[in-house]
Chain A
Amino acid sequence: DIQMTQSPSSLSASVGDRVTITCQASQDISNYLNWYQQKPGKAPKLLIYDASNLETGVPSRFSGSGSGTDFTFTISSLQPEDIATYYCQQYDNLSFTFGPGTKVDIK
């Protein structure tokens, strides 16, 4: 099975800061990677699909990049409403695995 790791597990940043989360797959998954945002008590929401494509309606401050085993998720200017846990998820070869999540809050 493909394992996913994320770092950091949590971070605290100021409003307006650039925030970067990394996700690593245990083997090459091409660009078969999505990013989700989950706010407390709510269902997850798809933000980025196929590693770098912004889902319709998602603010442009969110972006993703990477391929193979190493991926990056960026919030260019952190906003108070971005407080959430962010998960990467791979979907290669009939295997669907989420990363452990990165909790983002405001400093």
Chain B
Amino acid sequence: EVQLVESGGGLVKPGGSLRLSCAASGFTFSSYSMNWVRQAPGKGLEWVSSISSSSSYIYYADSVKGRFTISRDNAKNSLYLQMNSLRAEDTAVYYCAQSRTYGDYDYWGQGTLVTVSS
């Protein structure tokens, strides 16, 4: 059974940093592209970043480019999102999601809440 478990969320001040993790199990992690998608409270879904299986291809939404860094450790079956220079508008539940094929988010974690507030 595919399982994705996010962690690392919490309360951070504007301008601060946070590192999210996603622990994967139940599938061959190194064979799949992975993604971060976020959802602000009461709002819709927003794609944040994607990374290919071998980290060769990395993409970011314009809203986070230059501030967020996606990475993965295939030996540890883990996905990461380093978030710097956080803003109030980054407040959201952050989901990690697996891509079976390009553009599809087939399995999702339960999400971790990031709150940026002074």
Contact of A87 among B45, B61, B62, B111 (CB under 8 A): B45
Nearest Cβ on chain A to B9's Cβ, whole angstroms: 14
Residues of B within 8 A of A69 (CB): none
Contact B44 A91 (CB under 8 A): no
**Interface-facing stretch out of A12-20, A59-67, A94-102:** A94-102
Main secondary structure of the interface of B (DSSP, over half): loop
Known contacts A44-B45, A46-B104, A101-B44; A96 and B50 CB within 8 A of each other: yes
Nearest Cβ on chain B to A7's Cβ, whole angstroms: 14
Contact A45 B103 (CB under 8 A): no
Contact B103 A46 (CB under 8 A): no
Contact A46 B44 (CB under 8 A): no
Contact B108 A98 (CB under 8 A): no
A interface footprint on B24-47 (CB within 8 Å = 1, 0 otherwise): 000000000001010000001111
B interface footprint on A63-107 (CB within 8 Å = 1, 0 otherwise): 000000000000000000000000101111010111111000000
Closest-by-CB residue of A relative to B103 is A91
Contact A96 B109 (CB under 8 A): no
Q: How far is the CA of A100 from the CA of B45 in the complex (A)?
A: 8
Nearest Cβ on chain A to B96's Cβ, whole angstroms: 10
Nearest Cβ on chain B to A49's Cβ, whole angstroms: 5
Residues of A within 8 A of B104 (CB): 34, 46, 49, 91
Residues of B within 8 A of A101 (CB): 44-45
Residues of B at the A interface (CB closer than 8 Å) are 35, 37, 44-47, 50, 59, 61-62, 95, 101-106, 108-111
Additional A-B contacts beyond A49-B104, A87-B44 (20; CB < 8 A): A1-B62, A34-B105, A43-B95, A43-B108, A43-B111, A44-B105, A44-B108, A46-B105, A46-B106, A89-B103, A90-B103, A91-B102, A91-B103, A96-B35, A96-B50, A96-B61, A97-B47, A98-B44, A100-B44, A101-B44
Residues of A at the B interface (CB closer than 8 Å) are 1, 32, 34, 36, 38, 43-46, 49, 55, 87, 89-92, 94, 96-101
